[in-house]
């Protein structure tokens, strides 16, 4: 089957850098995605890694190590509006190409 593990909560101060880790188990791995969800809102796509390495998009970066079944989301220059839940999601192949989401990491940004 497929499973993901990520910390349930992270707290950081405004302007700081925070890293949210994700480890996964899947067969036929295709890629790891990250989504942000504010309270009461829909998940919104942040990044997708299919190959090892770092992908940078503005203040957010995402890293993947396929050999370690591990990835992380790096948020720089934290702002209050970054307070949200962050989900890693793995696209694997266990009889299909569905995407499985982790339980999410709730990020609290303090002033």
What residue ranges bind other proteins (CB under 8 A)? 30-31, 33, 41-45, 48, 50, 87, 89, 91, 95-104
Structural contact between residues 103 and 9, judged by C-beta atoms closer than 8 angstroms: no
Nearer to other proteins, 13 or 103 (CB): 103
CB of 92: closest distance to other proteins in angstroms?
A: 11
DSSP code, position 59: T
CB of 87: closest distance to other proteins in angstroms?
A: 5
Q: Strands, E, within 26-97: which ranges? A: 31-37, 44-49, 53-57, 60-65, 70-75, 84-91
CB of 15: closest distance to other proteins in angstroms?
A: 28
């Amino acid at each position: 089957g497929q499973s993901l593990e990520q910390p349930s909560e992270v707290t950081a101060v405004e302007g700081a850098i925070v890293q949210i880790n994700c480890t996964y188990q899947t067969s036929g791995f295709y890629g790891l995605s990250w989504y942000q969800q504010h309270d009461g809102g829909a998940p919104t796509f942040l990044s997708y890694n299919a190959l090892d390495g770092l992908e940078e998009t503005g203040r957010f970066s995402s890293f993947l190590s396929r050999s370690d079944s591990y990835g992380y989301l790096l948020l720089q220059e934290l702002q209050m509006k970054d307070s949200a839940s962050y989900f890693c999601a793995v696209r694997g192949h266990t009889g299909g190409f569905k995407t499985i989401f982790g339980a999410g990491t709730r990020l609290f940004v303090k002033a």
